[in-house]
Structure 1
Amino acid sequence: MQVKPIKTAEDNRTALARIEQLWDAEPNTPEGDELEVLATLVEAFEEANYPIDIPDPIEAIRFRMEQQGLEDKDLLPFLGTRSRVTEILKRQRRLTLNMIRKLNEGLKIPLDCLVKDYQLVK
């Protein structure tokens, strides 16, 4: 096993190619250990160089709706009236603390997404 730090995008591509070769390695074998170390190095490199920003609240709500096959009317228990649902989804109204709590508890949308600031459309 010859493992080295991942410093460049080329190093990352090489490590990913090796991971693909090792993908079916058994745990607690030299190949399995190499796979584990490479996966850790790639994860650290990609988190540092290709960060993924959390979505804003409306993107998070729409994503969850798509995941669960929900329609606007399914948000009534969390947001209130039909007009309020429309205003929220069109970014014309902000989420209240109560709405954020209900969306987090009911739809399991992470709080860090729901409390992120976003632009209103006037």
Structure 2
Amino acid sequence: MCVLINEYENKHYPIEAPDPVEAIKFRMEQQGLTVKDLEPAIGKSNRVYEVLNRKRNLTLPMIRKLHTMFGIPLKSLVGGL
């Protein structure tokens, strides 16, 4: 019965992969982080703004650092990849 319910929910109410930028913004809000706080993980402030404004994609090193330094789940940072 549980399997049937799970299959039904997956078919009719799929959960989309989280958006990496929204995951970062959410963590910033949760922990009161600023752009300056993200610089060690992403790069200079202009690079952080580029990522937050979706003008630049996250790189693998950025993803690793964001996960390690701020505890953002890897699944959230890789999004739909």
Letter in 1 for 2:21: I
Measured on the aligned residues, the alpha-carbon RMSD in Å equals 2.2
Query: Which runs of no fewer than 5 residues in structure 1 stay unpaired?
Result: 6-40
2:18–2:76 CA contact under 8 A, matched in 1: yes
TM-score, normalised via structure 2 length = 0.79
Name the residue aligned to 2:67: 104
Q: Whose relative contact order is higher, 1 or 2, with alpha carbons under 8 Å and at least 6 apart? A: 2
Name the residue aligned to 2:17: 54
Matched pairs, number = 76
Letter in 2 for 1:106: M
Structure 1 segments, 4+ long, off by >3 Å, are 49-52
| Shift of residue 103, structure 1, vs aligned partner | 0.4
After TM superposition, the structure 1 = structure 2 runs for residues 22-33 of structure 1, keeping only pairs within 5 Å, are none
Query: Which runs of no fewer than 5 residues in structure 2 stay unpaired?
Result: none
Name the residue aligned to 1:65: 28
Deviation per CA, 1:33-61: give whole Å up to 9, x if none: xxxxxxxx7xx66x925444332110000
Letter in 1 for 2:18: P
Name the residue aligned to 2:46: 83
Letter in 2 for 1:93: R
TM-score, normalised via structure 1 length = 0.54
Tell me the secondary structure at the aligned position of residue 100 of structure 1: helix
The percent of aligned pairs where both chains have the same amino acid is 54
Bigger radius of gyration among the two: 1
